């Protein structure tokens, strides 16, 4: 699940490629990495609560199902607006248990009183949430440039397949029908 904060500017959204390509694509990439597989069929719903986003023919909330050949079904929900802060969580459920990754917060402090428990708010936005990740990406890029490694962590196949899946999900939302995935490499 990914929920943006703040809502991106309309100027950005007009050129971003839409919620499936600029936002949901990261969740697709994560699911492909976790499963080590490509989906064979997808289905999605999209809706609008923000008139300006509807006005540019995009969605601000989407729910997606990705079906894999071995029976795994992955769900993704994405929203452009989370007033409580940038929200990214994942849960993997299997027959031997469950793994959950919760939101990273500025501190791990939890205060309990007679009124209940309080934690720090979520990070405000993705730049504050992913500071370490961006640092690792820049370091990896420099390692490639300097010849420390010649193996990129992201390859053409990843980008190509991610784009095909994102397009199929958007097509599903616009037609109301499931879409078989074709054209993966």
Q: What is the pLDDT of residue 166?
A: 98
Q: What is the DSSP code (8-state) at residue 18?
A: -
Q: How many residues does the chain have?
A: 185
- What are the backbone angles phi and psi of residue 116, rounded to the nearest 5°? 115, -160
pTM of the complete model beyond 0.85: yes
11 located within any domain: yes
Q: What percent of the chain has pLDDT over 70?
A: 100
82 located within any domain: yes
Residue-averaged pLDDT of the chain: 96
Find the CATH number of the domain harbouring 34: 3.30.360.10
- Structural domains of the chain, count: 1
Q: What is the pLDDT of residue 67?
A: 98
CA distance 25 to 184: 15
CA distance 62 to 48: 9
* Residues 100-114, mean pLDDT to the nearest whole number: 92
CA distance 52 to 73: 33
Q: What is the pLDDT of residue 45?
A: 98
Structural domain boundaries, residue 67: 2-104+155-180
150 located within any domain: no
pLDDT band of residue 104 (cuts 50, 70, 90) is confident
CA distance 58 to 164: 18
pLDDT band of residue 62 (cuts 50, 70, 90) is very high
139 located within any domain: no
Q: What is the pLDDT of residue 170?
A: 98
Q: How many CA atoms lie within 13 A of 31 on its CB side?
A: 29
Q: What is the pLDDT of residue 7?
A: 96
126 located within any domain: no
């Amino acid at each position: 699940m990914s929920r943006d904060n703040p809502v991106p500017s309309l100027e950005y959204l007009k050129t971003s490629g839409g919620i499936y390509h600029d936002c949901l694509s990261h969740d697709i990439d994560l699911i492909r990495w976790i499963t080590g597989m490509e989906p064979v069929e997808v289905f999605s719903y999209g809706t609008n609560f923000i008139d300006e986003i509807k006005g540019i023919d995009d969605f601000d909330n989407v729910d997606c199902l990705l079906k894999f050949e071995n029976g795994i079904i992955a769900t993704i929900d994405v929203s452009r607006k989370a007033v409580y802060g940038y929200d990214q969580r994942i849960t993997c459920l299997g027959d031997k248990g469950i793994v959950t990754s919760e939101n990273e917060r500025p501190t791990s402090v939890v205060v309990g009183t007679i009124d209940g428990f309080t934690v720090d708010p979520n990070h405000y936005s993705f730049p504050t949430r992913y500071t370490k990740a961006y640092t690792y990406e820049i370091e990896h890029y420099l390692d490639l440039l300097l010849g420390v490694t010649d193996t990129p962590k992201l390859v053409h196949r990843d980008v190509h397949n991610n784009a095909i899946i994102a397009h199929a999900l958007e097509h599903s939302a616009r037609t109301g029908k499931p879409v078989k995935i074709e054209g993966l490499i």
